Amino acid sequence: MSKVNNWNQLSEALNKAFAEDNQILIEEFIKGREFTVGAYLEKGEIKVLPITEIKSSKEFFDYEAKYTAGVTEEITPAKIAEEQTLKVGDIVKVVYHKLNCNGVVRIDFILQENTNNFFFIEINTVPGQSENSIIPQQVRAAGMKVKDFYSLLIQEALK
């Protein structure tokens, strides 16, 4: 992964990417805060878990930031305005429904700097489930026991 700050860096970034694969993805950089939101189905209703803010000490959230201890801080629940919490919750419900999701998913967003605009980054249809993973953090922040949450998901899947 590369971040290009000016046109002179583009050729090097493309060469690096094409050295990995013959298909690459180029995205516009959106400056802002990164958030991830868990969602699941309960009794036919899409539920949204407390939001987590992802704060990387690196320039952007890359592989090293994700998997190296101490490089990234995960803040659950995120410190954002109530109106933003409601707005992203509504967006998450629409994405969950439109993408025909089942079970628990995690949806990543960037809240663009100096605006109130959320940009969808990706959906994690099989999010991490270890004790330190984000979904269990969000479940605990919602006041639920992780064991009870997974029992609920199993019961929902069996319907």
Average pLDDT, the chain: 89
Query: Is-contact 76 51, C-beta < 8 A?
Result: yes
- Three-state DSSP class for residue 158: helix
pLDDT computed for residue 61 by the predictor: 60
Domains of the chain: 1-29 (no CATH), 31-158 (3.30.470.20)
Mean pLDDT for 136-159 is: 93
pLDDT computed for residue 48 by the predictor: 97
At 71-127, the pLDDT tens digits run 678 899 999 999 999 999 999 999 999 999 999 999 999 999 999 899 999 999 888
**Contacts of residue 67, Cβ cutoff 8 Å, sequence gap at least 6:** none
Mean pLDDT for 12-31 is: 92
Q: Which two tokens stand for residue 122?
A: 């990706």
Q: What is the pTM of this model?
A: 0.83
